[in-house]
């Protein structure tokens, strides 16, 4: 506006000059506004620290991992909230700023337990979060190639998640997913009180035995049932959750509930009424008799494998809407090749929301000599295709954020 109001040269010449200098102008204003933004950010964090230091008796549970941490956090919070006053992070509040917001808005003098999900995009971030909230219990849900484009190596990702464990006090408790190789490695290195949880009583890739495990697993279309082995205790539970992979997400909640003194009968009753995280393996039935599974909250190799394992329950035609995964870094092509191999005999039609890694997915299906048909299209084209081809009793599984609109259209 200034350039046009006081044209030192022809005003149209200014347009060319601005075009060349625009990146400098934008950079200058971003730089200028970064100071008050950082000041506000630091002030908020300092207020959160002061508030937390006055809640010395409050138990703090930190949860980190490449996958499963949101569901694990949700189940822990739901189970404990039946007996304690619980505060928790929500949605994308897994950053330092988000956690500070929760502390300032949700934690009161009555709060007994704070359950915090911790996400990281680089080394040192989880350590800073732990300095703020001082966790007593830490849970590592598993470590894979998710966010590898940011961490560059799995070792960097492992080191970042281990910051949570290293921050725990000497009397703290660390829980690790025994079905994940990287988590088991961290378990072996940990010297404070530690707990391994797993779906099996014996872990194939490890010489250790989990402290809590599940057997007699029964998976139905709308629930899972299994037997818990915890110390010398043994009891059966049923949860209104989809897929056996949710057992691993639930085991930390059961162990911590027992650790906090909640009885077996109370645990069984609470688990029977659990509510899954929104947009995470949520089952919906349409008026036309179609089953739609909404798993659009996130997407990673483990969640896709779990989805395909669950879909095997259904005997009629199986459709899978998938947003190819991002943030897998240098391993992206290899991971999509493996996913293609899984789709070979687990799905009738795979509908991709974009062309990313299409070649690798098709190659994986071909290597297994699968009959899964692969199509690529926009939301509108996929919806139109499904509208013409799905029938009563079929299942449509929607994975990834780009598939969210498909769920809305099918269930409208």
109: DSSP letter:
T
| Distance, CA of 179 to CA of 181 (rounded, Å) | 7
Q: What is the 3-state secondary structure (H, E, C) of 360-404?
A: HHHHHHHHCCCCCEEEECCHHHHHHHHHHHCCCCCEEEEECHHHH
**Residue spans of alpha helices (H) in 264-325:** 264-271, 301-311
Position 149 pLDDT exceeds 60: no
Between 91-95, 303-307, 375-379, the lowest mean confidence (pLDDT) is in 91-95
Secondary structure (3-state) at 265? helix
Question: Is the pLDDT confidence value at 411 over 80?
Answer: yes
pTM for this model (two decimals): 0.84
Which of 199-208, 220-229, 393-402 is predicted with the least confidence, judged by mean pLDDT?
A: 199-208
Q: Give domain limits for the chain.
A: 54-271, 282-411
pLDDT of residue 256: 97
pLDDT, average across residues 288-293: 92
Beta pairing partners, 284: 292
Quote the CA–CA distance of 227 and 229 in Å, as a whole number. 7
Residue 229's closest CA among 208, 215, 219, 245? 215
Q: What is the pLDDT of residue 144?
A: 67
Which of the two residues, 121 and 394, has the higher pLDDT score? 394
Q: Taking 70 as the threshold, does the pLDDT of residue 276 lie above it? A: yes
Query: What pLDDT score was predicted for residue 47?
Result: 94
Residue 260 is predicted with a pLDDT of: 95
Q: Which among 68, 132, 140 is positioned nearest to 102, based on CA atoms?
A: 132
Q: Angle at CA 306, nearest 5°, toward 188 and 288?
A: 160
Give phi and psi for 355, each to the nearest 5. -90, 0
Given a cut of 60, whether residue 291 has pLDDT beyond it is yes
Chain mean pLDDT for the chain: 89
Question: pLDDT tens-digit profile of 331-372?
Answer: 889 889 998 999 998 899 999 999 999 999 999 999 999 989
pLDDT for 272: 95
Render pLDDT for 90-141 as a digit per residue (tens, 0 to 9): 877 888 889 999 999 999 999 999 999 998 777 889 999 999 999 999 999 9
Indicate if the pLDDT at residue 17 is higher than 90.
Answer: no
Work out the percent of the chain whose per-residue pLDDT is above 90.
61
Which residues make Cβ contacts (< 8 Å) with residue 17, sequence separation at least 6? 3
Digit-coded pLDDT (tens) for 80-93: 999 999 999 987 78
For the cut 70, the answer to whether the pLDDT of residue 11 exceeds it is: no
Distances (CA, A) of 280 to 169, 273, 359: 33, 16, 28
> Tell me, what's the pLDDT at 13?
73
- Can you tell me the distance from the alpha carbon of 328 to that of 70, in angstroms, rounded to the nearest whole number? 19
| Span 55-85, pLDDT tens digits | 889 999 999 988 889 999 999 999 999 999 9
Residues 282-411, CATH architecture: Alpha-Beta Complex (3.90)
Residue 205 pLDDT > 70, yes or no? no
Q: Is 171 exposed, middle or buried (0-12, 13-18, 19+ CB in 10 A)?
A: exposed
pLDDT confidence bin for 297, thresholds 50/70/90: confident
Residue 265, pLDDT above cutoff 60? yes
pLDDT band at 146 (very low <50, low <70, confident <90, very high): low
Lowest-pLDDT choice from 119-133, 139-153, 268-282, 317-331:
139-153
Ranking 33-42, 231-240, 280-289, 354-363 by mean pLDDT, the lowest is 33-42
User: 204 pLDDT exceeds 60?
Assistant: no
For residue 325, the model assigns a pLDDT of 84
DSSP strands (E only) in 89-211: 113-118, 137-140, 173-177, 193-198
Average pLDDT over residues 155-163: 85
* C-beta separation of 73 from 138 below 8 A: no
Residues above pLDDT 70, as percent of the chain: 93
Euclidean distance between CA atoms 216 and 200, whole angstroms? 10
pLDDT value, residue 270 = 96
Class of domain 54-271: alpha beta
Identify the pLDDT of residue 2. Answer: 66
Lowest mean pLDDT among 195-209, 213-227, 283-297, 323-337: 195-209
Question: How far apart (Å, rounded) are the C-alpha atoms in residues 308 and 242?
Answer: 12
């Amino acid at each position: 506006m200034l350039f046009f109001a006081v044209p030192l040269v022809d005003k149209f010449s200014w347009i060319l000059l601005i075009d060349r200098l625009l990146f400098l102008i934008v950079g200058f204003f971003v730089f200028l506004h970064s100071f008050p933004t950082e000041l506000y950010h630091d002030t908020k964090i300092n207020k959160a620290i002061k508030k937390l230091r006055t809640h010395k008796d409050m138990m703090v549970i930190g949860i980190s991992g490449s996958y499963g941490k949101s569901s694990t956090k949700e189940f822990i919070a739901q189970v404990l909230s039946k007996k304690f006053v619980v505060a928790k992070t929500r949605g994308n509040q897994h950053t330092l700023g988000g956690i500070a917001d929760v502390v300032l808005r949700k934690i009161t003098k009555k709060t007994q337990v704070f359950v915090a999900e911790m996400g990281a995009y680089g080394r040192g971030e989880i350590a800073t979060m732990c300095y703020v909230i001082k966790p007593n219990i830490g849970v590592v849900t598993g470590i894979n190639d998710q966010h590898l484009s940011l961490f560059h190596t799995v070792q960097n990702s492992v080191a970042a998640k281990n910051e949570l464990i290293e921050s725990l006090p000497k009397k703290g408790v660390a829980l690790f997913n025994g079905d994940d190789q990287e988590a088991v490695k961290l378990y072996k290195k940990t010297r404070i009180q530690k707990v391994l949880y797993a779906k099996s009583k014996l872990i194939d890739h490890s010489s250790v035995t989990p402290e809590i495990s599940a057997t007699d697993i029964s998976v139905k279309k709308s629930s899972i049932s299994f037997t818990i082995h915890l110390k010398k205790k043994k009891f059966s539970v049923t949860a209104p959750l989809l897929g056996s992979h949710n057992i691993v997400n639930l085991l930390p909640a059961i162990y911590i509930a027992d650790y906090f003194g909640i009885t077996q009968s109370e645990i069984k009753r609470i688990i029977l009424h659990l509510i899954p995280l929104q947009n995470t393996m949520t089952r919906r039935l349409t008026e036309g008799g179609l089953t739609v599974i909404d798993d659009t909250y996130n997407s990673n190799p483990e969640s896709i494998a779990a989805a395909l394992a669950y879909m095997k329950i259904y005997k009629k035609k199986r459709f899978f809407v998938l947003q190819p995964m991002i943030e897998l870094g240098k391993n992206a092509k290899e991971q999509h090749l493996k996913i293609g191999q899984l789709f070979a005999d687990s799905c009738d039609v795979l509908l991709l929301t974009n062309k990313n890694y299409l070649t690798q997915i098709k190659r994986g299906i071909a290597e297994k000599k699968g009959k899964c048909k692969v199509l690529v299209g926009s939301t509108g084209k996929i919806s139109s295709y499904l509208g013409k081809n799905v029938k009563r009793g079929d299942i449509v599984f929607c994975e990834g954020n780009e598939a969210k609109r498909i769920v809305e259209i099918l269930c409208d």
